């Protein structure tokens, strides 16, 4: 039986947000890999792409060679089925991400967890 991917790559450079999101996502059954830049996100994606169900990316991450728009374009090329969920407080960035291939509109900061869980892929319910 093929395992359903349940790992989220979280691209966020604010430690408090990483900690809060990781805790909430893990309670919901997701595994979380967190990085603080687009370059590191791309490196982790290449290693873990087969386990990822989604990439969540802050629009204001530390600048690097792989900015959020370039990251979503790379993911669409090499991981077309992986959901890309932007996180932002800027509607301008939201529009750029949608044009680049994001899976839907940005989850606005402060984070609306109902909107977040609606955007995430659903995990199968395991009955023991």
Residue 2 maps to a domain: no
Whether 128 has a pLDDT exceeding 50, the answer reads no
Q: What is the pLDDT of residue 2?
A: 57
Residue 11 structural domain: 7-119
Residue 27 maps to a domain: yes
Tokens coding 10: 């979280």
Residue 80 maps to a domain: yes
Q: Percent of the chain at pLDDT above 90?
A: 43
Mean pLDDT for 40-50 is 94
Q: What is the pLDDT of residue 127?
A: 42
Count of domains forming the chain: 1
Whether 103 has a pLDDT exceeding 60, the answer reads yes
| pTM of the entire predicted model | 0.88
Residue 103 maps to a domain: yes
- Rounded distance between C-alpha atoms, residue 126 and residue 92, angstroms: 40
The overall average pLDDT reported for the chain is 87
DSSP state at residue 56 = E
Residue 128 maps to a domain: no
Domain at 78, CATH number: 3.40.50.2300
pLDDT tens digits, residue range 16-27?
999 999 999 999
């Amino acid at each position: 039986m093929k395992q359903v991917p349940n790992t989220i790559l979280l691209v966020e450079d604010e430690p408090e947000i990483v900690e809060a999101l990781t805790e909430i996502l893990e309670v919901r059954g997701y595994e979380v890999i967190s990085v603080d830049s687009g370059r590191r996100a791309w490196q982790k994606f290449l290693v873990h792409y087969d386990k990822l169900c989604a990439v969540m990316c802050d629009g204001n991450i530390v600048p690097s060679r792989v900015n959020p728009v370039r990251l979503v374009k790379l993911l669409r090329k090499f991981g077309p089925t992986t959901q890309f969920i932007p996180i932002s407080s800027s509607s301008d960035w939201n529009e750029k991400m949608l044009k680049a291939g994001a899976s839907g509109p940005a989850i606005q900061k402060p984070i609306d967890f109902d909107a977040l869980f609606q955007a995430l892929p659903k995990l199968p319910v395991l009955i023991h």
